[in-house]
A and B are shown apart, each in its own frame.
Chain A
Amino acid sequence: DADVTQTPRNRITKTGKRIMLECSQTKGHDRMYWYRQDPGLGLRLIYYSFDVKDINKGEISDGYSVSRQAQAKFSLSLESAIPNQTALYFCATSDPGTAGNTIYFGEGSWLTVV
């Protein structure tokens, strides 16, 4: 089983709909992240959380919100989806004790907004 699990793995939704991507981890890490990958732009940070009471905006937080329900759970919401939010989304965790804050990624969630 994957240490970082994302659901759903694939979703097609309509413009204006609310969509939630969920993430759970079994690594016991306090730090969790949401990234999105777009062709030619690499991985960009949307939001991150260093513990249950901590939420921080990343590079591209507009149009997104997050909830850290527990140490192991971090969900990403698109309140009103738009087509340019079509992308591959990754949840990730990290252990600050590792060199360079090594990040461990989930398998990704493909989201298509039509």
Chain B
Amino acid sequence: DQQVKQNSPSLSVQEGRISILNCDYTNSMFDYFLWYKKYPAEGPTFLISISSIKDKNEDGRFTVFLNKSAKHLSLHIVPSQPGDSAVYFCAAKFQGAQKLVFGQGTRLTINP
């Protein structure tokens, strides 16, 4: 049973426009959500996170939005740059636990 779902396997966006990556979850006991970015031949790297007590967290061009009632979070990248082309994983942590549950990943391609 996939508790964290990224329903879009791929997304293509023009350079300079906004990229929006989506993630849905099923368990209301998650208390932290994270986004990881993965380039080919490299391990995933941490990008941005948000606590379940917040609805928005911003870091430069990256903003994560959390809608707890809909059990949905999204990552916005503005403006999108060619170096943003990568696979993005959404992850969630259970309250009181120290493990992360990952989504399937979304491959983002930024076109010049």
Chain B residues near A105: list those with CB within 8 A: 36, 43-45
Dominant SS at the B interface? strand
Can you list 7 A-B pairs with a CB-CB distance of less than 8 A?
A42-B104, A42-B105, A45-B100, A100-B33, A100-B93, A102-B34, A107-B41
Dominant SS at the A interface? strand
Binding site for A on B (CB under 8 A): 4, 6, 9, 32-34, 36, 41-46, 49, 51, 89, 91, 93, 98-100, 102-105
> Measured between C-beta atoms, what is the minimum distance from B102 to chain A in Å?
4
Of A41, A99, A101, which is within 8 A of B100 by CB? A101
Assess the A102–B102 pair: CB atoms within 8 A: no
Contact with B along A42-78 (1 / 0, CB 8 A): 1111001010000000100000000000000000000
Assess the B98–A31 pair: CB atoms within 8 A: yes
Contact with B along A77-103 (1 / 0, CB 8 A): 000000000000010101010011111
Given contact pairs A42-B89, A102-B34, A108-B41, a sample of 8 additional A-B residue pairs in the complex whose CB atoms are under 8 Å apart = A42-B105, A50-B98, A90-B44, A101-B98, A102-B46, A104-B46, A105-B44, A106-B43
